Amino acid sequence: MSLIWEVVVVVSIVYVLYELLNIHNRKKLPPGPRGLPILGHLHLLGKNPHHDFQNLAKKHGPIMYMRLGLVPTIIVSSTDVAEKILKTYDHIFANKPHNEAAHYLAYGQKNIIFAKYGPYWRNMRKLCTQHLLTNQKINSFQSLRRQQVELMIKSLQNEGRVVVDLSERVASLNANMTCLMVFGKKYMDQDFDKRGFKAVLQEVVHLAAITNLGDFFPFLGVIDLQGLTRRLKDLSKVFDEFLEKIINEHVESRDENQSKDFVDTMLDIMQSGKMEFQFDRIHIKAVLFVCYFILLIIIRSL
């Protein structure tokens, strides 16, 4: 019971300080529903928040202010306003808030998806557009893609008149090609984790979808009342060990005469010092995590 009261006292103090620090900014905020101390407007959201936002917008307008826990949030329900935010003024709204799942799974939000907008993000974007996703780079895998397509066609021919799930075969083809282009080889379930690719993906999606109290009340992230931080750390360790294994394999068996996959390219950049910041293994793994997660999404459709 004493721990509960300690949490209540800490939350109350944080709320009072938050209100005092933000009292001068209230007049500049868009209209919104009346909130509660500490909780803000979380009590107004149910299992389908997008429906709740839509209903609240009918009363408070297309641009609405809500406080989700201690996080001030602007809800936009107008397509015209959304277009201005995402296109016309995208550089102003390009920053990403802190997210517990992204913090642990994306190496402190160091990949291009979760990184905060600024010089670092621009350099990571340049890495992708000028080195990894160029036409020249993609075309260099043309023979590889052709080979994988031929293998799939041959496997279909061997099936004879047996009915096959073509969607599954195409998804498997995409997964194999992505794996070869990014990592240079195909990896089986046993190479990754005893649970396998799909099980790990399901856990990633599950943890990312759970409402994490630490995202709305940052000080609760330290306490880890839901046990999510522990599970995220365990999952990040699985990914880190696998990605370290991939990088080590490339370092030990590099051949300048062979075509280079994404890992080879980033290792070259790391050694050359071309980036405007200290580009190291952590950054390589952050990029690979995005590539690998895309691969897992493809595999999930199998």
pLDDT above 90 (res 208): no
Query: Residue 39: CB partners within 8 Å, gap ≥ 6?
Result: 69
Whether residue 15 is contained in a domain is answered as: yes
Average pLDDT over residues 117-129: 89
User: Are residues 261 and 202 part of one domain?
Assistant: yes
Q: What is the pLDDT of residues 8-62, one digit of tens each?
A: 555 556 555 555 555 555 568 899 999 888 889 999 998 888 899 999 999 999 9
User: Are residues 128 and 86 part of one domain?
Assistant: no
Q: Mean pLDDT over all residues of the chain?
A: 83
Per the structure, the count of domains in the chain is 2
Whichever domain contains 251, its CATH number is 1.10.630.10
23 DSSP assignment: G
pLDDT score of 53: 93
Query: Residue 209: CB partners within 8 Å, gap ≥ 6?
Result: none
If we measure between CA atoms, which residue out of 86, 82, 24, 90 comes closest to residue 57? 82
Whether residue 114 is contained in a domain is answered as: no
pLDDT grade for 99, boundaries at 50, 70 and 90: confident
pLDDT score of 239: 86
pLDDT grade for 149, boundaries at 50, 70 and 90: very high
Question: Tokens standing for 214?
Answer: 């630490």
pLDDT score of 1: 47
User: Are residues 236 and 88 part of one domain?
Assistant: no
Average pLDDT over residues 239-260: 85
This model's pTM is above 0.95: no
Domain hosting 10: range is 2-92
Query: Residue 17: CB partners within 8 Å, gap ≥ 6?
Result: none
Angle CA 239–268–252, to nearest 5 = 60
